[in-house]
Amino acid sequence: MIGTEKIEDIKETLFNGFNSRKENFYKNNGNNNIKYTESKVIGILLADNNEYPMSDILDTLNDVSGEHIDFFCIGYSKNTQKNIWEFNRTSYDSFISEFRSLILNTNRQLCHQHLILINANASETDCYLDFSKSIVLDFHKINQSGINMRDLFFTIFEKVTENQKITIGELSNKLFEDKNNEFILDVLINLLAKDFDKIKNLFKSRMIYLLKDISNK
């Protein structure tokens, strides 16, 4: 898990990792004429520490972050001596300001309790963050739907590990389809019970995985 202050910091970190893997690729293939490109899923955590027990969320993201998926947790850093997560409000607010001005579609308002999943695409010369297709996980909606957040993060990690070249669109489909039979059974049971509020919440819980375009285009 990586703390960061600027969007360029995210791109630089990813590009450095890309260059390292590119060198290994060329070393193993022995052909520098092959152009190496890469796409991987990353998560950007936009969440201040006012509403949720962020230490649990940060510990979980730290557990699953690594080779297959990187999580950038804005404003947070781990104090290893005290074994606590520290939050820098100035760094966080600075990133949010930059994010809103450079990335975020002005028609879509994100509150400060989201995990944004996107594809980062690297080429020989640059790293591009694709916000036109994103999964925006709203912590408020997750809690309302009864989804266990830790289980959700580990499910995302499992899907990405199974297919390291997975696109955000494919990840969205897999999350939406996960436990499909269980979902259908729950809907049928609550239809028989005429518990329409529960049915509404069940469908809302599925909607959090749908793709969104939050790019400033």
Specify the residue for token string 């936009």.
Answer: 46
Phi, psi of 206 (to 5 degrees): -80, -30
Contact between residue 139 and residue 114 where contact means Cβ atoms under 8 Å apart: yes
Contact between residue 168 and residue 135 where contact means Cβ atoms under 8 Å apart: yes
Of the candidates 147, 140, 129, 148, the one whose C-alpha atom is nearest the C-alpha of residue 202 is 147
Specify the residue for token string 């028609």.
Answer: 107
Residue 107's H or E segment, with its range, is none
- H helical segments located in 67-167: 89-102, 139-145, 149-162
The pLDDT, as a whole number, for residue 205 is 57
Pairwise CA distance, residues 9 & 11, whole Å: 5
For the chain, give percent helix, strand, coil, nearest 5: 50, 25, 30
The pLDDT, as a whole number, for residue 201 is 61
Phi, psi of 73 (to 5 degrees): -105, 105
Tokens, residue 12 = 């630089």
Contact between residue 168 and residue 119 where contact means Cβ atoms under 8 Å apart: yes
CA dihedral 7, 212, 122, 36 (to 10 degrees): 170
Contact between residue 154 and residue 60 where contact means Cβ atoms under 8 Å apart: yes
* Upper half-sphere CA count for residue 118 (Cβ side, 13 Å): 24
Q: Each residue's pLDDT tens digit in the chain (217 positions)?
A: 566 668 888 888 888 878 777 777 666 766 666 666 677 889 999 887 766 678 888 888 888 777 678 889 898 988 888 888 888 888 888 888 888 877 766 545 565 688 899 998 887 778 888 988 888 888 887 777 777 888 888 888 888 888 878 888 888 887 766 655 554 455 455 556 666 565 566 555 555 666 777 777 6
The pLDDT, as a whole number, for residue 102 is 75
